[in-house]
Amino acid sequence: MVVANDPLAMLLLKQDVETFLYHEANLLDDRRYEEWLALLTDDVRYWVPMRRNVKFGELEREFTREGQDINWFDEGKDTLTRRVNQILTGVHWAEEPLSRISHLVTNVEIVDATPSASNAEGVALRCRFIIYRNRVATETDILVGRREDTLRREDGGWRIAQRQVFLDQNVLLAKNLTFFF
Amino acid sequence: MAITFQPSAYSGLVDHDNGMVSREIFVNSDIYAEEQERIFTRAWLFVGHESQIAKPGDFFVSSMGEESVILCRDRQGEIHVFLNSCMHRGMKVCRYDEGNTPIFTCPYHGWSFATDGALVGVPFYKDAYHEELDKSQWGLIRVPRMTNYKGGIWATWDENAPDFLEYIGGFRTYLDILFDGWDGAEGGTEVIGGIEKWLVPSNWKFPAENFIGDRYHNISHRSVDLVGIGPSGQGRRDTRERDGARALDISFPERGHGTIVFLRPADAQPVPSYQNDPVIADYFYQSEIARKERQGQLWRIMGGPGTIFPNMSYLPRQPRSIAVWHPRGPDQTEVWRWFLVDKSAPPEVKEFLRQYYIRYSGPSGLTEQDDMENWNYAHAASRGAMARRHHYNYQMGMGYAVTDFEDGGLSIPGTVLDVTKARAGEQNQRGFYSRWADFMAARDWDELAGWRNNGNGSAC
């Protein structure tokens, strides 16, 4: 966490960022996918590595590497937009009928604010998430993990410039990842 | 120790001649238990790729049927496959996915095994065992048969199984397209880091039969075709190379393997593809030219999805990959997915493919998400007492296949159903289930290697 030499500015910034994160989660859960896409910067990076069981002392090999290995996701806005468009075809059978999803975002911690907390144009944050997904009749997935986001201020509002998602699973217990983290 | 089986009561659930298969074989837990004994202890199974264990001491924990195995390269550089269970009291000796180690030490009582499987350390060997334990008899259980074919590591628990090359027979022509380089260089492929692993709530045979050649399910992929994820930004794949090609379904019913291929015309020339980027377009174009020079007529065969009986499926072109459908109960499959690239490809090509593989495949892939929906709910809707009374229908294209298919001087190995006009057929699935019934009925490999008696030799 950044050293808060201006605690009041940090408090306000945290409030501001949390409001944004909850709004973003609500857009996804309300299936307002195109509005959600508009919250991503054009150069957004979205990365969800896979996670290995490795020996103590070799934890640097725990996650598959961004830009080098096969990952669950490792992409930018073009592919994310195609994912949204696929859902919007109405014949993406893995999301038709649509899932019922709730994103719970918690443990929000501001890691860095540039140039300063009182005047932030960029924020690095860490949080935890629980994604509850229920589909068709009894299909249920619960995915839990850590998220590391980089936000950037654009056109007077926050935009997501980078999202890194560290899932607490090895063998993925869900049959698909048709939703967004 | 080899077990001799009596014929199963269940082999009759496959009616090959009428193209029907009982739903029981997908949902019945007694049948599932018999499959583990009769199929997964006797067939050749895909375990991993040599590029995953490049250095001495490297290991990769894999699975053969339900059972965990360790694929390992010992200090002398030799490759082994061991049952991942301590010989003392059964504890899993390795619970990591991969790594490098001089020794596997069991966390329960501390027995330790060298990378060649030898038992090298036993706590209290002197005081408690009085040095009377014969360590040479208690090394890790090693698969009796293993082979490294063009980098792919395969193993079987049955010491009487035929050699791997006899097991695949004439299917080798098609499997080679997967493991050779794009330019035809023998075994010119390597695995990209990161093996996808996930659970699908369906019987393992649904994906195996889907990959063996189901051309019939375009409706499933309508959404991805609309948004376009192909290497050139359109459709699912880059399919210009298929222009003018014949579509063939190829089955080896005596062995259970099958694939779909596209056969270029006799006068075809390489066509440019993936043209959004000159480096990538040039790589594939030059590779096609090199392959044509190397292979001559055989170059005309463009590989498509296939399955090696029982549970290894693959895509030899794009997205070039291997899927193993590990059985995890009648109602669940654990899928493992390996992705291959040419070892010698430039970094731009590897990166281009990596991104395409991710967006196409597996739980996060725009294409395959919709496949899993089918397997899940076909399974779920077949479990009921009423549903089980009705057989699945695999009658498409029955009676139209030939065993001597020839086109422009090129003989095509296998039983061939020309679906250029029909665009779909189900002979590959019929061959798969007919082989499934053979495995359930046969006492041993003398019965399973039926091709030895009917004059087809090992070539067909």
- B231 and B192 in one domain? yes
Q: Is residue B203 part of a domain?
A: yes
Do B376 and A175 make contact, defined as CB atoms within 8 angstroms?
A: yes
Judge if B57 and B104 occupy the same domain.
yes
pLDDT (0 to 100) of residue A174: 97
Number of domains in chain B: 2
CB under 8 Å to B14, separation ≥6 — which residues? Answer: B21, B22, B25, B433, B434, B436, B437
Last residue of a domain, one of B95, B112, B145: B145
- Give A-chain residues touching B321 at CB under 8 angstroms: none
Task: Suggest the residue from A92, A99, A133 to mutate for an interface test with chain B (most B CBs closer than 10 A).
Answer: A92
Which residue positions in chain A have pLDDT lower than 50? Answer: none
Q: What is the DSSP letter of B267?
A: T
In a domain? residue A32: yes
**CA-to-CA distance for B283 and B349, rounded, in angstroms?**
8
Q: Answer whether residue B6 is part of any domain.
A: no
Compute chain B's Rg from CA coordinates. 23
Q: Are A70 and B370 within 8 A, CB to CB?
A: no
| A2 domain residue, yes or no | no
Number of domains in chain A: 1
Residues in B touching A55 (Cβ below 8 Å): 96, 99, 101
pLDDT by 10s per residue, chain B, length 460:
557 788 888 878 999 999 999 999 999 999 999 999 999 999 999 999 999 999 999 999 999 999 999 999 999 999 999 999 999 999 999 999 999 999 999 999 999 999 999 999 999 999 999 999 999 999 999 999 999 999 999 999 999 999 999 999 999 999 999 999 999 999 999 999 999 999 999 999 999 999 999 988 888 899 998 898 877 666 776 667 788 899 999 999 999 999 999 999 999 999 888 888 889 999 999 999 999 999 999 999 999 999 999 999 999 998 999 999 999 999 999 999 999 999 999 999 999 999 999 999 999 999 999 999 999 999 999 999 999 999 999 999 999 999 999 999 999 999 999 999 998 999 999 999 999 999 999 999 999 999 998 755 444 4
* Pairwise CB contact (< 8 Å): A92 & B355: no
Same domain, B192 and B65: no
* Domain end call among B145, B160, B178: B145
ipTM (interface pTM): 0.96
Q: Residues B57, B71: contact at Cβ < 8 Å?
A: no
User: Where in the sequence is the domain holding A147, given as residue range(s)?
Assistant: 7-55+71-167
A33 within domain boundaries? yes
pLDDT for the residue A1: 52
- Domain check: are B140 and B204 in the same one? no
Q: Does residue B65 sit in the same domain as residue B183?
A: no
Instruction: From B129, B128, B148, B127, select the one nearest B137 (Cα to Cα).
Output: B129
CB-nearest to B363 from A58, A86, A175 is: A175
Rounded Cα–Cα distance for residues B39 and A32 (Å): 48
| Residue B11 backbone dihedrals phi, psi, to 5 degrees | -60, -25
In a domain, B395, yes or no: yes
Strands, DSSP E only, in B157-268? 189-191, 196-200, 246-252, 257-263
Q: How many residues does chain A have?
A: 181
Is residue B134 domain-shared with residue B215, that is, in the same domain? no
Residue B231: cis peptide before it, omega within 30 degrees of 0: no
pLDDT at residue B459, as a whole number: 42
Instruction: Establish if B165 belongs to a structural domain.
Output: no
Residue B357 within a domain: yes
Sheet of strand B98-100: strand arrangement: B79-83, B67-73, B58-64, B98-100
The token pair at B200 is: 């699908």
CA-based max dimension of chain A = 53
Measured between beta carbons, the chain A residues lying within 8 angstroms of B201 are 175
- Cross-chain Cβ contact A82/B357 below 8 Å: no
* CATH, residue B119: 2.102.10.10
**Does residue B109 sit in the same domain as residue B229?**
no
Q: Which residues of chain B lie closer than 8 angstroms to A75, CB-CB?
A: 355, 358-359
Burial class (CB in 10 A: 0-12, 13-18, 19+), B381: exposed
Whether A140 and chain B come into contact, CB under 8 Å, resolves to: no
Name the residue of chain B whose CA is nearest to A179's CA: B364
Q: What is the pLDDT of residue A4?
A: 60
- On whether any CB of chain B is under 8 Å from the CB of A98, the answer is no
| pLDDT at res. B453 | 83
Question: If you write DSSP's letter for every residue of B348-414 in order, what string do you get?
Answer: HHHHHHHHHHHHHSSTT-TTHHHHHHHHHHHHHTT-STTGGGS-EE--TTTT--BSS-EETTEEPPS
Q: What is the pLDDT of residues A83-133, one digit of tens each?
A: 999 999 999 999 999 999 999 999 999 999 999 999 999 999 999 999 999
Residue B372 belongs to a domain with what CATH number?
Answer: 3.90.380.10
In a domain, residue A88? The reply is: yes
Indicate whether B457 belongs to any domain: no
Show the domain range for B101: 45-145
Same domain, B361 and B225: yes
Q: Quick one: B211 and B301 in the same domain?
A: yes
In a domain, B445, yes or no: yes
Q: Identify the domain boundary among B145, B162, B197.
A: B145
Distance of CA B32 to the CA centre of its chain: 19
Give the CATH number of the domain where residue A84 resides. Answer: 3.10.450.50
> How far apart, in whole angstroms, are the C-alpha atoms of residue B405 and residue B385?
43
**Together in a domain, B117 and B212:** no
Helix or strand holding residue A160 (H, E): strand A157-167
d(CA B94, CA B112): 11
Distance of CA A143 to the CA centre of its chain: 12
* H-helix segments, chain A: 7-29, 33-37, 77-87
Reference A54, options B69, B106, B96; nearest CA is B96
Phi, psi dihedrals of residue B148, rounded to the nearest 5°: -110, 100
* Cβ count within 10 A of residue B399: 9
Name the nearest CA neighbour of B46 among B62, B33, B58. B62
Residue B61 lies in a domain: yes
Residue A124 covered by a domain: yes
Q: Are residues B425 and B309 in the same domain?
A: yes
With beta carbons under 8 A apart, name residues in chain A contacting B198.
Answer: 171-175
Same domain, B203 and B335: yes
Query: Given 3-state DSSP classes, what are the helix, strand and coil percentages for chain A, each rounded to the nearest 5?
Result: 25, 40, 35
A177: in domain: no
